[in-house]
Structure 1
Amino acid sequence: MTLRFIAKDPNTNGTQCPTAWVDDEAKEIVIQGWKAGQTLLAECLETGPVPESEAVVRLPIRMVPVLREACDVADRLGVH
């Protein structure tokens, strides 16, 4: 796996915070975020089940530039 670090949440202390990477080999965006609480998870489940192999995570809106950068990196990999 070739994991390319993009950025961490700029408004945190730099540890245990939302983070974004791009996996060049798998051609995936990888996100670390806060686990969804029961209320949010229940709302998400109204749309459909969340498989055991997936998770609902939260990211602060201030990370939009980080996500855009991750998307730009992914776009440059040429996968659509």
Structure 2
Amino acid sequence: MSLRFIGIDPNTGDHESPTVWVDESRQGIVIQGWKPGPDLAAQCAAFEVPGHAAGIPESEAVVRVPARMAPMIREACDAVERAAARVH
């Protein structure tokens, strides 16, 4: 895995560090965030999308990141799209 650091929550403290990376080898975005409280996790698990069962698969997780990190997430999306374009 080839991770490229994009950014960390600018308001991060000593014990919190929501972070965004780009996985260049798999052309994906990796996000570290806060674990949701039980209410948010339950809401996400109950949400149904056409064609998908309700629930969160064992291999997936819900994380929460602050909205102030949107520019970093956009940058990560752009980086992944550029990497994908180079491959194709």
Counterpart contact for 2:2–2:24, Cα < 8 Å: yes
CA distance in 1, matches of 2:4, 2:15: 17
TM-score (norm 1): 0.90
CA RMSD of aligned residues (A): 1.4
Which stretches in structure 1 are left out of the alignment for 5+ residues? none
Residue of structure 2 equivalent to 1:52 = 58
1:58-73 aligned at under 5 Å gives the runs 58-73=64-79
Q: 1:61 to 1:22 in 2, by over 3 A?
A: same
Which structure is higher in strand share? 1
TM-score (norm 2): 0.83
Q: 1:72 to 1:15 in 2, by over 3 A?
A: farther
Counterpart contact for 2:27–2:84, Cα < 8 Å: no
Counterpart contact for 1:20–1:32, Cα < 8 Å: yes
Counterpart contact for 2:45–2:55, Cα < 8 Å: yes
Residue of structure 2 equivalent to 1:78 = 84
Structure 1 consecutive aligned stretches of length 4 or more whose deviation exceeds 2 Å: 13-16
- For 2:74, what is the secondary structure of its paired residue? helix
Which stretches in structure 2 are left out of the alignment for 5+ residues? 48-53
Counterpart contact for 1:8–1:14, Cα < 8 Å: no
Residue of structure 2 equivalent to 1:37 = 37
Q: Which piece of structure 1 moves more, 49-58 or 14-23?
A: 14-23
CA distance in 2, matches of 1:14, 1:3: 23
Residue identity (%): 54
